[in-house]
Amino acid sequence: FFLDHLFEENGKSSMYTWILSTGWWVSRAPIDPDAVLVVAVLCTSLIGGFIYINRVKPSKSLKIQYRQSLKLIIVIAFLYGLWCASQIYLVNPRRPAVGEEADLGVLVFLFMYFFLPHYLCIASMNPKDYA
């Protein structure tokens, strides 16, 4: 659907715009308050954790800050994966954990093509602290 529709109408149709903005194929997208709450708590924890690690209790060593930040990211990613798995495998009937626009594939894509290059660029700026 994505490639055919994108090239067919240059991505300008109202249906394509609706799907991109909501991730939903039919008229109204359902809003799951549990998903909104879980994602809000995880995002707040991630941002709050970074602020705590880098501003409130900054370490003198960048290596320690890096390790703490990496642990925080892994914990948040694990909790998000646990949430997704619970919604797909434990809830009956199955429901999407967050929505089509925020599925795991999108997050993996962002990691590979957005966060990883930024990390490599930052790591190359000061190789003594990261090696």
Q: Which two tokens stand for residue 116?
A: 């990883």
Extract the residue ranges of the chain whose pLDDT is less than 50: 1-3, 5-6, 101, 130-131
Q: Which two tokens stand for residue 112?
A: 């590979």
With left for phi above 0 and alpha for psi between -120 and 50, is residue 10 left, alpha or beta? left
The per-residue pLDDT for 21 is 59
pTM exceeding the 0.75 threshold for the entire prediction? no
How far is it, in rounded angstroms, from Cα 30 to Cα 126? 47
How far is it, in rounded angstroms, from Cα 23 to Cα 98? 10
The per-residue pLDDT for 130 is 46
Range list of H helices, the chain? 2-9, 14-22, 33-51, 62-85, 104-110, 116-125, 127-130
How many angstroms separate the Cα of 51 from the Cα of each of 38, 55, 76, 83? 20, 5, 15, 24
The per-residue pLDDT for 66 is 86
The per-residue pLDDT for 99 is 61
How far is it, in rounded angstroms, from Cα 47 to Cα 102? 18
